[in-house]
Every structure is written in structure tokens, then in C-alpha cells.
């Protein structure tokens, strides 16, 4: 896929950060469309229309996209989509090379990173062609024009902490604010760049000061960044300011950890004197949280433990709920309580007794399972997993996790019968990302009739249409696959995913589905991108045996009915219709 040109570079950079941080959730791909949610300060819904690997249209519920721009949430979803395509490719490679099983996970590198590496290689090659004296001359020009670059190079290669350097760094920070804060306000279009530059300042300049043990200077600059982001009037609808605030928090933690007792007392005093009124609104909570994290007394910790106990004791089922903190986000209250018990100096026996008292919560049993697996005590892990499947029977998400872990353990210990039984249950019950477990199960079932019966059971019981269609395609049950597609509400999306094989096996049925889709879609098409999408499906029809005449007939009809749509007529001519 080549969709990177649809985004500005800094939007791509933020998109890949969101993707790598796991912000893309509820991802669903059905051949010609992608739907997903992306977490930010709010949860934004993204929908992307595809024709093959071409992006036809993108919609996001965030304000930036509402103004007609392609946003970082769209980019994050497309990076997630590339991961899925890469895993599908890896799965195909796995099927073609069974003898290479066990060599470890295939490293998946996105096209985006490949392109960046290629560009870097080209630049390095170009520089190698320039005489050294000319390179120095060019570099001197760049450094003269960019104060930030000058400071960065100075700190890396000619570091000397003095008042001059601090003045330059403070000036650089002030310049960032002046560049983006226009009339006392940072608008939506510049907010992302503004927060990116502040984050880069912390990640490069301040982090280098911390590494050089210039802790007072690092603390001063971190506080200035915090004050800047905490007081500027900014349209921060996507929550990018939280990235800067969290970076400040991490800098504070590192500075405190490296500081001696005297400076720690100074830092504590500074936070206590700036608890309120230093920054606006909720951002005060970052100061409260760092005070608790780094300086809380045992009495304060006990108060927090009592608050957590109230949350935990009010939970009626096996889920102990969540608690929220400004820096760490949503946390599991039991795990947080255990960490606080360690901070209080509780013994292992005391912590074990607490876990035992609260064993009805699945998070405690998950800890038991992890400990058993780490110790290779698979018998214990299996026992707790099976017990947990009973105790958490009304929590489908937890049951899926337990089932997956059981499959992995049975595979490790060679319990083939148990592995097959659990895998069949898993495939019949839960949404599947790919055919990984199908392929693993198939290697254990030698009798064709038995395997066919297992496939029948999965097809009948699993409600995930996309997975079921993949399975039927893999098994070459093409009639059954097309029946499933024709009875689906997402006929075209599912057909797109299997079109290459189905157009060869049953071209007439494929033509009928696509022709019916075009009959509905043409009335809703109202711009050039949508017209291009219609042409893609005309081409799909043409590629089927006997489809050229059908496509020509549809095109002739459109020329009569929609002759006033000049863009549509133009796209038809371009595609040869």
C-alpha cells in the first residue's frame, strides 16, 4: 500500500506513535472497509473505504478531520492495517515453508519504516559524494540558521554547562512558544506541531542534561516546559498536551531518582509551593501525583490504600474495576494496592495473604498463572486456568485469554488430545485474527473425514463472518463460501477479500454480487474519489469470464443516465469504459 502521501509528515509521525502505543482498538477489516476506534483525550471513530489497496475515502470523528484534513487517527489505523497485511503475508509464508517452523517470530517492518530507511540511505550516499570541506560549510550554514540545532550539537559534542548554555536553552524554549502562540492562542492546526516540539525539547535537551548529571538545570527547564504547556490557551481536542505533561512527569522522576537528599528536599519544597495556581485546571494533579509517587509518607500511603479498598470491596463480581490517575491513566486497583504494600515495606507473606483473601478477582489468578508458567509448573497453571474458566464464565474476554493460554501450554507439554479439544473450542467460540490456530490444529488431525466434521462445527458455531469465510476459502469450499457471502450484510467487503479465487471458480455469481452493488452505489456517488471506486468494481466485473459484456452494459447505461456528471464521465474514459 502507498498511502503515506495522503498525510503531512508530522501527522504520520504522530500516527505511528499512536499505533505503536496500542491506541488503535476495536479494529475490523472486511475487504473494502476498515473500522476502528483510536484512544486520545476522547475515543475517536475512524472509517476507511478501500478498493483493493487504494484508499478511497477516510472519515474520523475528531475535530481536525471534521475540517476536511487527514488526521493522525486515520494514519494510526492504516499502520495497524499494514501490520495485519504483514501478518497475513507471514502466515502465507509459514504455510509454504513448514520446515522453518520454530525459528521464531517473523520480524514485521512497515513500508513506512522501509521508506524512511531508504531515504536515509539515499541522503547518506549523497553526502558521501560531497567533499568534506563543502560538508562542513553546508553544516555551518544549517547551524547558523537553526538555534535549536546549534544547541543540540553543542550539547552533544562540546558540552560545557554554564549560564550561557542555560540562557540559550531558555531562549529556545521561549522561541517555540512564540512560533506557535499567535495572539495568545495556539489553534488546532498548530497544536500538534507545538506539542511535538516541546516533547522533542524534553527528549533531547533535558534528557541529555539528566545524563550529564546537570539535575538542577534539567529540573528548571522541565518546570518551564510544564508551565508553558500548563498555561497556554490551546485547542487541544486530541489530547496531545498530555504527551508533553507525561514527558515532564518522567523527567521529574529521573531527576528525583538521581538527586541527593538535599536536592530532593528542594524539589519536594518546590512541588509543595506550586500545588495550586501554577498551571490551569486539571494539570495541578500532575504535581499532586509526583508528590505522592516520590515523597508520600506512610500515613499518606495508608490513606490511599484505604481508598483503594473501598473501590475493591464495592465490586461484586470477579472484576475489581479500575481506578484513574492523571499520569498512569486507568489502573487495576488490586495491582496498585500491592505496589503500595511493597512501598510500605510489607513482607512477601503479608502480600501473599492479601492475594489469597482476594482470589475471587481474576487479576489475582492471572498473577498465579503467570508465576506458574514462569516456574514451568504447567500442571498448576492448567489447574488455575480451568478453575478461572468456571469462575469467570460470564466474562467472554477473560475466557478467551484463558483458552489461549491453555492452548499454548498443551502445545508446550505435548498434550495433543487436550490441545485439539481446547483449540476446537477456541475456534468455535471466539473471534479469530487469522487462521493460525486452524493451521496448528490441522497438523494434528490426520483423518480427512474427522477434519471436515471439525470445519463444519466451526462454520456452524462461530459468528465471525470474516473468519468463517477465510476458513471456507482455505478449505476450497467455494460454493459454501459464496453462500455465506451472499447471505451477509457485508457482501462486497467479504467478496473483495476472496475475489481473486472466486472469480475463477464461479465468475457468474461474482458478477451478480458486484453488479447489484454498483446498482445501489452509483446513486450515492457524489465526488471523484467515489467515482474512482465505482470504476474499480467495473474492472473487477470485466476481469471475470463473461464479465466484459456486463461491465460494458453497465457503463453504457451510466453514460445515458449520468451524462451530466462530468467527473464521472472523465473517470470512465480514463478506465477505458
Please write the tens of the pLDDT for every residue from 421-477. Answer: 999 999 999 998 889 999 999 999 999 999 999 999 999 999 999 999 999 999 999
DSSP secondary structure letters along 552-572: HHHHHHHHHHSTT-HHHHHHH
Average pLDDT, the chain: 88
Cβ of 65: how many Cβ atoms within 10 Å? 18
Task: End-to-end CA distance of the chain: give it in Å, rounded.
Answer: 26
According to the model, what pLDDT value does residue 447 have? Answer: 95
According to the model, what pLDDT value does residue 68 have? Answer: 74
According to the model, what pLDDT value does residue 221 have? Answer: 97
Q: What is the pLDDT of residues 412-421, one digit of tens each?
A: 999 999 999 9
According to the model, what pLDDT value does residue 113 have? Answer: 59
Which contacts qualify for 510-517: CB closer than 8 Å, 24 or more apart? 510/482, 510/540, 510/544, 511/541, 511/544, 511/546, 511/547, 511/550, 513/485, 513/486, 514/540, 514/541, 515/541, 515/550, 515/554, 517/491, 517/492
Q: What is the 3-state secondary structure (H, E, C) of 482-502?
A: HHHHHCCCCHHHHHHHHHHHH
What is d(CA 283, CA 279) in angstroms, rounded to the nearest whole number?
6
93 pLDDT tier (thresholds 50, 70, 90): very low
Lowest mean pLDDT, pick from 39-43, 345-349, 454-458, 484-488:
39-43
Inter-CA distances, 227 with 176, 224, 242, 274, 280, Å: 13, 5, 13, 11, 9
According to the model, what pLDDT value does residue 96 have? Answer: 45
Q: What is the pLDDT of residues 484-522, one digit of tens each?
A: 999 998 899 999 989 989 999 999 999 999 999 999 999
For residue 168 the three cell numbers come to: 540559550
Q: What is the pLDDT of residues 177-189, one digit of tens each?
A: 999 988 789 988 8
According to the model, what pLDDT value does residue 259 have? Answer: 96
Q: What is the 3-state secondary structure (H, E, C) of 205-263?
A: HHHHHHHCCCHHHHHHHHHHHHHHHHHCEECCCCCCHHHHHHHHHHHHHHHHHHCCHHH
Maximum average pLDDT range among 40-54, 372-386, 479-493, 563-577: 372-386
Please, are residues 345 and 370 in contact by the beta-carbon 8 Å criterion? no
Q: What average pLDDT does range 378-396 have in this prediction? A: 96
| Percent of the chain predicted with pLDDT > 90 | 60
In this predicted structure, the answer to whether residue 112 has a pLDDT above a threshold of 50 is yes
Global pTM value: 0.69
Please, are residues 211 and 156 in contact by the beta-carbon 8 Å criterion? no
| Angle of the 215-231 helix axis to the 241-258 helix axis, nearest 10 | 160
| Percent of the chain predicted with pLDDT > 70 | 92
In this predicted structure, the answer to whether residue 347 has a pLDDT above a threshold of 90 is yes
311: exposed, middle or buried (Cβ count in 10 Å: 0-12, 13-18, 19+): middle
According to the model, what pLDDT value does residue 444 have? Answer: 95
Inter-CA distances, 570 with 257, 528, 536, Å: 66, 9, 14
Q: What average pLDDT does range 39-56 have in this prediction? A: 79
Q: What angle do CA 150, 155, 160 make, to 5 degrees?
A: 120
Amino acid at each position: 500500500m502507498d498511502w503515506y502521501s495522503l498525510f503531512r509528515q508530522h501527522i504520520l509521525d504522530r500516527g505511528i506513535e499512536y499505533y505503536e502505543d496500542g491506541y488503535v482498538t476495536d479494529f475490523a477489516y472486511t475487504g473494502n472497509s476498515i473500522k476502528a476506534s483510536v484512544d486520545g483525550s476522547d475515543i475517536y471513530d475512524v472509517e476507511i473505504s478501500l478498493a483493493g489497496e487504494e484508499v478511497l475515502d477516510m472519515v474520523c470523528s475528531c475535530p481536525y478531520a471534521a475540517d476536511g484534513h487527514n488526521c493522525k487517527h486515520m494514519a494510526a489505523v492504516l499502520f495497524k492495517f499494514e501490520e495485519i497485511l504483514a501478518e497475513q503475508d507471514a502466515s502465507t509464508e509459514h504455510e509454504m515453508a513448514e520446515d522453518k517452523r520454530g525459528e521464531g517470530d517473523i520480524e514485521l517492518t512497515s513500508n513506512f519504516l522501509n521508506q524512511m530507511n531508504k531515504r536515509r540511505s539515499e541522503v547518506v550516499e549523497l553526502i558521501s559524494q560531497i567533499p568534506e570541506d563543502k560538508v562542513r560549510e553546508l553544516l555551518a550554514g544549517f547551524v547558523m540558521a537553526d538555534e535549536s540545532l546549534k544547541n543540540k550539537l553543542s550539547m552533544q559534542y562540546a558540552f560545557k554547562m554554564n549560564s550561557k548554555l542555560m540562557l540559550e536553552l531558555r531562549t529556545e524554549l521561549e522561541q517555540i512558544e512564540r512560533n506557535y502562540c499567535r495572539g495568545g492562542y495556539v489553534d488546532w492546526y498548530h497544536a500538534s506541531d507545538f506539542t511535538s516540539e516541546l516533547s522533542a525539547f524534553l527528549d533531547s535537551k533535558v534528557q541529555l542534561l539528566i545524563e550529564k548529571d546537570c539535575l538542577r538545570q534539567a529540573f528548571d527547564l522541565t518546570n518551564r516546559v510544564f508551565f508553558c504547556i500548563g498555561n497556554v490557551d490551546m485547542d487541544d481536542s486530541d489530547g496531545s498536551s498530555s504527551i508533553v505533561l507525561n514527558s515532564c512527569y518522567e523527567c521529574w522522576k529521573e531527576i528525583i531518582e538521581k538527586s541527593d537528599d538535599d536536592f530532593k528536599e528542594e524539589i519536594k519544597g518546590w512541588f509543595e509551593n506550586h500545588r495550586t495556581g501554577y498551571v490551569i485546571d486539571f494539570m495541578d494533579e500532575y504535581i499532586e501525583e509526583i508528590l505522592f509517587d516520590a515523597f508520600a509518607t506512610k500515613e499518606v500511603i495508608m490513606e490511599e490504600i484505604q481508598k483503594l479498598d473501598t473501590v475493591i470491596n464495592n465490586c461484586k463480581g470477579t472484576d475489581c474495576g479500575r481506578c484513574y490517575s492523571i499520569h498512569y491513566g486507568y489502573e487495576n486497583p488490586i495491582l496498585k494496592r500491592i505496589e503500595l504494600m511493597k512501598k510500605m515495606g510489607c513482607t512477601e507473606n503479608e502480600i501473599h495473604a492479601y492475594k489469597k483473601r482476594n482470589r475471587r478477582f481474576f487479576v489475582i489468578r492471572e498473577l498465579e498463572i503467570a508465576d506458574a508458567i514462569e516456574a514451568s509448573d504447567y500442571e498448576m497453571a492448567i489447574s488455575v486456568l480451568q478453575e478461572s474458566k468456571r469462575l469467570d464464565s460470564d466474562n467472554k474476554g477473560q475466557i478467551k485469554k484463558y483458552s489461549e493460554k491453555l492452548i499454548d501450554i498443551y502445545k508446550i507439554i505435548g498434550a495433543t488430545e487436550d490441545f485439539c479439544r481446547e483449540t476446537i473450542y477456541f475456534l468455535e467460540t471466539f473471534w479469530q485474527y487469522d487462521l493460525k490456530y486452524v493451521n496448528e490444529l490441522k497438523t494434528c488431525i490426520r483423518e480427512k473425514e474427522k477434519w471436515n466434521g471439525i470445519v463444519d462445527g466451526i462454520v456452524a458455531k462461530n459468528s465471525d463472518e470474516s473468519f468463517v469465510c477465510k476458513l471456507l476459502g482455505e478449505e476450497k469450499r467455494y460454493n459454501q463460501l459464496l453462500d455465506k457471502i451472499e447471505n451477509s450484510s457485508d457482501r462486497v467487503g467479504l467478496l473483495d477479500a476472496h475475489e481473486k479465487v472466486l472469480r475463477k471458480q464461479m465468475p457468474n455469481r461474482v458478477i451478480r454480487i458486484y453488479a447489484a452493488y454498483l446498482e445501489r452505489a452509483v446513486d450515492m456517488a457524489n465526488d471523484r474519489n467515489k467515482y474512482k471506486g465505482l470504476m474499480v468494481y467495473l474492472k473487477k466485473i470485466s476481469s471475470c469470464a463473461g464479465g466484459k459484456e456486463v461491465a460494458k452494459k453497465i457503463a453504457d447505461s451510466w453514460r445515458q443516465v449520468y451524462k451530466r456528471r462530468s467527473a464521472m464521465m472523465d473517470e470512465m474514459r480514463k478506465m477505458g469504459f
